[in-house]
Structure 1
Amino acid sequence: MNADPEGRPGPGAPDRWDEAVLDAVFTQSDIGLHVLDTDLRVVRVNPVAVGVRGLPAERIVGLPAAEAYAPLGVDVDEEMLREVLATGRPALDHLVRGHPFTDPRSEYVFSVSAHRLQDDAGRVLGVVLTSTDVTERERAQARLRLLHDAHERIGSSLDVERTARELVDVTVPRFADTVVVALTDAVLRGREPGLRSHDPAPLLRCTATGGADAGPRIPTAGALLLPGVFGKVLPTEPRVLPPEQDDGTGGTRIVAPLLVRGQVFGAVVFQRAEGAEPYGEDDLELADGLATRTATCLENALRFTREHIVMTALQSWPLRQEEATQKAVDVARRNQPDGSGVGSWYDVVPLSGARVALVVGRVDRAGLSAVATMSRLRTAVYSLTTLDLDPHELLARLHATTLRLAGEQETGPGGDGTTASCTVAVHDPVGGRLDIARAGTSLFAVVRPDGSVDTRPVDDGPLLGAEGPPFACASLTLPEGSTLCMAPGEGGPRTEDLVNALAHPGRPPEAMADDVARLLAPDRVLLVVRTRHLSPHELAEWSIPFDFSAVGVARRHVEEQLRRWDHPADPFTAALVVSELVTNAVRYGAAPITLRLITDATTLICEIADAGRAAPHLRHAKAVDEGGRGLLICATLADNWGMRYSAEGKTVWAEIGTEGAEERGG
């Protein structure tokens, strides 16, 4: 018997089993089947096969496969099929793309596998193709690839306009036919973005666009776009909008705001041309991911821009003081502390007695914290220079400040201490003495007028905030016209190249600075300084007897010298200040006593040096006291006064301006 009582085929009816299975596969399977003969003509297809959706099977049966599927945009790989026929090796998971008649605007992707057909005798009958719709899988992978590319390519720079341009480059044409990115005026100006809750329709200006000429219209750069392509009110999340009423190209568009924590950076519109596949829910999720990534990069770029403004302001503080230092030095500066040079600085600080302090330094940290630390160290340097300390003593005090700053940073998040390198050189135009002290490593070279170059006038010292004092120091006496070259940080040019750049001392400092700057990294700061000595028209000096009778002699010296210089300072004021300083030196100091006058067009500096070590103390004498008013008189009449120590003793000085003399003369 070949059938059971219910009529089901039994083991003896294999042909009927084969027919039943084949019929089930062709009529009930959700896998597309295409049967081709050895000439690659279509023999049979099932209803779900690609190319048959919406078409009767008889429209393609009997046609060559390439001809049958060409109207659907399917490219048949005949070479692959013939190889399957010839070798019998199946071809698996071959991706085929096409536009079925049932949904011509959408591109579908099918995974096609080809297997050879042969009868029981081994004769080749043709090839059978199985096709599975993997459109959603491929679209999901394409979205993931696009998001991955967005994370790789968007935000490569810290510039808001370039970030907007990168969003356009990533998404055209993979996600949209045209893309328009607009940013708020505040963001474009580097200011803090506004909150959306304060303005649901912010002013947006076209920043970056891209797309085909035949696609939806593209606004011009700089055009105002709200209301416009973004709608009347900026949405709070990506939204599909209908085509614009005045846009004859049709198509759909997604508008996505560029928001970070409620702050509006701008918006982006993705547009597809008429006839293209409309945007769906999955596209909204992708647009949201792209907008979020772009907004985050815009926030980083804006933060960098604002921090860079702060850094530049701090790096350039204080203003140049050429007038206050030009008696002692001529200075050429180079300052572009970007990138790894953030936290580097230089200073040219005027000191008493026409001296000048030259400082270069670098904080060994990164980012805005380096600039903040640098600013605090520079402030400390300015404060310490008012004490007229020797350079190595100044570095010792600065080391204590660095340790304190490091302790403050270690108590905060991510604190890991602070170290810094710093070189201080004090030049005295009276005699050309140069005192140097160095913490850490830096470029320091001395070029004398004869062309000789000394690239190591002082050894490297320990870093500020690290090992601490004592710091390396040296003292030199330089002829007038010597040149100093100073730059902070490690890794300078080769000694031979540096010597060649500096070995022509007759050139001006600016030209020498250009030559040295070309040898340094672009983020290094640089000082090139030409030293000067005071001339007889700027300096007068006398030895004063150690006796109270010398006070009158000192007064006459001052009055005669002011007449000889034709100086506008009031002679009576200058003589009174000098007489009080000489009296104080005789009473509390030690021999010898030296009187020195230093002048320029607006200021007269009076200095009294003696061998005593006792510091003068400003007192406020009572009405009945017979003395104790000398320094008070000096402090009242002079614009500024102070004291500094040296190996030979101390010097008390006072600066007298000409403004008071003009007022008294009037």
Structure 2
Amino acid sequence: MPDDPLFTLDVHGRVVEWSKGAERLFRRPAADALGQGVFGLLGSEGSGRPWTIAPFTERSPERAWAVRAADEGPPGMSEAILDAVFTQADIGLHILDPQLRVLRINPVAIGMRGVPQESVIGLPAVEAYAPMGIHLDESLLQEVLVTGRPVRDVLLSSRPFADPEREHIVSMSVHRLSDQADRALGLVATTVDVTDRERAQARLRLLHEARERIGSSLDVERTAGELVDVAVPDFADSAVVALTDGVLQGKAPELLSRGGEILLRCTAAGSSHHDCPVPPAGSILLPGLFGAHFPTSPVILPPSVPKRPGPADTVATRRLVAPLSTRGQIFGMVAFERRPGGSPFTAGDVDLAKGITTRTAVHLENALRFTREHVVMTALESWPLRPERQTQRAAEIAQRHRSAGSGGGSWFDTMPLPGARVALVVGQVEHPGLSTVATMSRLRTAVHSLTTLDLDPHELLARLHSTVLRLAREQGDAERLHEPTVHCTFAVHDPVSGRFDIARAGRSLLAIVRPDGTVDTSPVAEGHLLGEEGPPFASAGHVLPEGSTICLASPALSEQEGPTVDRLAAALGHPGRGPQAMADDVEGLLAPDRVLLVARTRRLPARDVWECDVAAEFQAVGRARKQAEACMRAWGLAVDPFAAELVVSELVTNAVRYGAAPITLRLIRGESTLTCEVDDTALTAPHLRHARAVDEGGRGLHICATLSESWGVRYGDEGKTVWAELHEPSVETGAFSSPDEAGDFGA
């Protein structure tokens, strides 16, 4: 009871009863106070406070006097303070009795604006506040009442009668009211409207979630789906993301224009409530979903009653639409919708929608750029393979490309060379990316051009190194961080002699498997990369038996990604298997975006190659011409016999006049070609001359160039070879199309 004394005294002035209030006030337990004299006790613990000592009203021999603390201040001060708090405080105050009934509330209590206090006074708190959408936890209130431990900042949602369209967030704290004897008198609950604070924090959390979840991949459709997942249901009850047809097809986005109409297709949609249906994915969306015209910035559309069956008092839907645009380019639109009866969108929601959609548009731009670059890289990395028929006489080829779409810059080629030879090349440009693939394409073109010069593999890499340096200068990277460096292996196989010449820059994968099953994983040493120190590059020459297998592959970024020597040898050590099967085994060992060439060498049959030694005298020219004529007649080639004899005569004459012995004439028969080669040991370079009308000589190479499809010269360790290639005339030309006709003409 409020009038209970702090402690009581006997007739001798000693403490006989010590209350809980006294324990808190004097900070002394009852065991220490009982039996003490009042004057000594108040003299040491009273702190100068006024006390009242009065006879105890109840007749008791042990308790004769009651001691109470005297009120400070003028009479009625406590009541005045309490009234001022209830009438002037800015926070809501709610007094509950021990039975959790409402005793008193102040006018600013949450939900009480415009509500007579008499309508809630005396009602249980749970029942009194339920009409305002406040759901109190009665067990929580009982716990505070019993234990005396207060609870603070409990968040409750409400829809007060003064603002039923908007959900409010209330922070409630509850404390127990106790008398001096620590008996529970009831509860006091304070409430504060923290709607703005909580909504601001919710927006920050949603922006953080958007930053973490949107843009996890470089796929436009997945990015649109991530936007829906973030927005529903934390921001809206439904969301529809529509992208333009051009963006979905990987094309450049259109320019954002006010009032324009763009064809949009539903890309992702989601809803958390049946009152907010969404269109199916892939459907074409008309402007009505986004307003009369496509907006250029986030905007809240006027409420509109949904055109679907419902009760007569159906509340209009609330919709916020925003463009997915960045740097003046439009990728699509987003429509956020809240179901009927939900909270309307606010200016803060508009700002939040702008932040989310702008970030999504940036990710869409990145995804679209990646898609377009991926298309370019795929086109550059997937040049049409050269028909196998052009190289199958020299080698049986198997090709593999483990494309991963990251622009690895790896390439391979098989190129036919004069004399039935074949060139094999595998390369890789460092630093993956679109610029790397572009550099790779330029280098690939350079290799094709350099092969027409019939260069030694080592010489070809030296010239390709100069090309890489020129490309580095053109890129003009001041910090030299992205200057191209290239791994490249270039090899030439001659099916006539079985010679295999190879040069290597970098650490491209290389192995040779001989017919007996032995595997040579280091036929030539590794060297520095193209674009680094420069020539000389590691090179070697081998004479391979027919049926040998050559394996070339672009290197991995690290030794951990690439195959070990033992695993490579195990995959290749089966010479009885064909190149395609061996390529399948090795491909599984390669890192992504790497290429592979497997070539099984062949030799030209003796019936397709004819050669003879030529004496270093002019009389030998006629004999060589007649022998060549007899060989061509036996072969039955449909080439022009007069042109072939003239080419042989001029090449031999040129070797006798300007070359050095020994001289060898060689004819190589192809399916529709005849190759004439003359070897000599002189290193002087023949060159094409344009003789004047009065000159008696100087027309030999000019005649060869005129009569043949192509001609050239290549150098070896012991001299040079001058060659010319003649083709059979096609049927359309009306020339010789059968061996019989060619033989008759030659006769």
* TM above 0.5: yes
Mapped to 2, the partners of 1:406 and 1:203 lie a distance apart of 44
Q: Which residue of 2 aligns with 1:665?
A: 736
Mapped to 2, the partners of 1:53 and 1:518 lie a distance apart of 75
Mapped to 1, the partners of 2:184 and 2:258 lie a distance apart of 75
How far did 1:341 drift?
Answer: 5.5
Q: Which residue of 1 aligns with 2:247?
A: 187
The change in CA–CA distance for 1:239 and 1:572 in structure 2 (over 3 A counts) is: same
Q: Contact conserved, 2:378 with 2:405, CA < 8 A, in 1? A: no
Q: Does 1:466 align with 2:532?
A: yes
How far did 1:153 drift?
Answer: 1.6
The change in CA–CA distance for 1:595 and 1:120 in structure 2 (over 3 A counts) is: same
Q: Which residue of 1 aligns with 2:86?
A: 26
The change in CA–CA distance for 1:581 and 1:256 in structure 2 (over 3 A counts) is: same
Aligned residues: 656
2:463 to 389, 392, 397: 397
More divergent stretch after superposition (620-629 vs 492-501): 492-501
Q: Contact conserved, 1:570 with 1:658, CA < 8 A, in 2? A: yes
Q: Does 1:501 align with 2:584?
A: no
The change in CA–CA distance for 1:253 and 1:553 in structure 2 (over 3 A counts) is: farther
2:157 alignment partner AA: R
Q: Secondary structure at the match of 1:421?
A: strand
Q: Secondary structure at the match of 1:164?
A: helix
Q: Contact conserved, 2:524 with 2:539, CA < 8 A, in 1? A: yes
Q: Which residue of 2 aligns with 1:165?
A: 225
2:192 alignment partner AA: T
More divergent stretch after superposition (119-128 vs 625-634): 119-128
The change in CA–CA distance for 1:296 and 1:119 in structure 2 (over 3 A counts) is: same
2:736 alignment partner AA: G
Mapped to 1, the partners of 2:576 and 2:175 lie a distance apart of 88
Q: Which residue of 1 aligns with 2:256?
A: 196
TM-score, length-scaled by structure 2: 0.83
Q: Does 1:156 align with 2:242?
A: no
How far did 1:622 drift?
Answer: 0.2
Q: Contact conserved, 2:457 with 2:491, CA < 8 A, in 1? A: yes
1:91 alignment partner AA: V
More divergent stretch after superposition (87-96 vs 169-178): 87-96
How far did 1:462 drift?
Answer: 0.9
Q: Secondary structure at the match of 2:342?
A: coil
1:102 to 162, 180, 183: 162
Q: Which residue of 2 aligns with 1:635?
A: 705
Q: Which residue of 1 aligns with 2:117?
A: 57
Q: Does 1:595 align with 2:595?
A: no
Q: Which residue of 2 aligns with 1:5?
A: none
1:345 to 411, 432, 449: 411
Q: Contact conserved, 2:487 with 2:507, CA < 8 A, in 1? A: yes
2:488 to 410, 422, 425: 422
Q: Secondary structure at the match of 1:228?
A: helix
Identity level (%): 61
Q: Which residue of 2 aligns with 1:6?
A: none
Over residues 424-480 of structure 1, what are the superposed CA-to-partner deviations in whole Å (9 max), with x where a residue is unaligned?
Answer: 222222222222222122221222222222222222111222232222222222222
How far did 1:629 drift?
Answer: 0.5
Summarize the alignment of residues 618-657 of structure 1 with structure 2, pairs less than 5 Å apart.
618-657=688-727
1:517 to 582, 587, 606: 587
Summarize the alignment of residues 114-153 of structure 1 with structure 2, pairs less than 5 Å apart.
114-153=174-213
Summarize the alignment of residues 217-228 of structure 1 with structure 2, pairs less than 5 Å apart.
217-228=277-288
Q: Contact conserved, 2:477 with 2:483, CA < 8 A, in 1? A: no
Over residues 166-189 of structure 1, what are the superposed CA-to-partner deviations in whole Å (9 max), with x where a residue is unaligned?
Answer: 111111112222211111121111
Over residues 123-162 of structure 1, what are the superposed CA-to-partner deviations in whole Å (9 max), with x where a residue is unaligned?
Answer: 2223322221111111111112212222222221111111
Q: Does 1:369 align with 2:429?
A: no
Q: Contact conserved, 2:377 with 2:407, CA < 8 A, in 1? A: no
- Could you list the runs of 5+ residues in structure 2 that have no partner in the other structure? 1-70, 311-315, 738-747
1:146 alignment partner AA: L
Q: Secondary structure at the match of 2:187?
A: strand
Q: Contact conserved, 1:201 with 1:232, CA < 8 A, in 2? A: no
Q: Which residue of 1 aligns with 2:604?
A: 534
The change in CA–CA distance for 1:374 and 1:576 in structure 2 (over 3 A counts) is: same
1:451 to 513, 517, 524: 517
Instruction: Let me know the Cα RMSD of the aligned residues.
Output: 2.5
Q: Secondary structure at the match of 2:289?
A: coil
Structure with bigger gyration radius: 2
Q: Secondary structure at the match of 2:345?
A: coil
Q: Contact conserved, 2:683 with 2:719, CA < 8 A, in 1? A: yes
How far did 1:54 drift?
Answer: 4.9
- Could you list the runs of 5+ residues in structure 1 that have no partner in the other structure? 1-10
Q: Contact conserved, 2:305 with 2:317, CA < 8 A, in 1? A: no
The change in CA–CA distance for 1:443 and 1:38 in structure 2 (over 3 A counts) is: farther
How far did 1:376 drift?
Answer: 2.1
Q: Which residue of 1 aligns with 2:344?
A: 278
Q: Secondary structure at the match of 2:568?
A: helix
Mapped to 2, the partners of 1:269 and 1:568 lie a distance apart of 74
1:407 to 473, 479, 484: 473
The change in CA–CA distance for 1:593 and 1:244 in structure 2 (over 3 A counts) is: farther
2:93 alignment partner AA: L
Mapped to 2, the partners of 1:659 and 1:232 lie a distance apart of 70
Mapped to 1, the partners of 2:101 and 2:346 lie a distance apart of 38
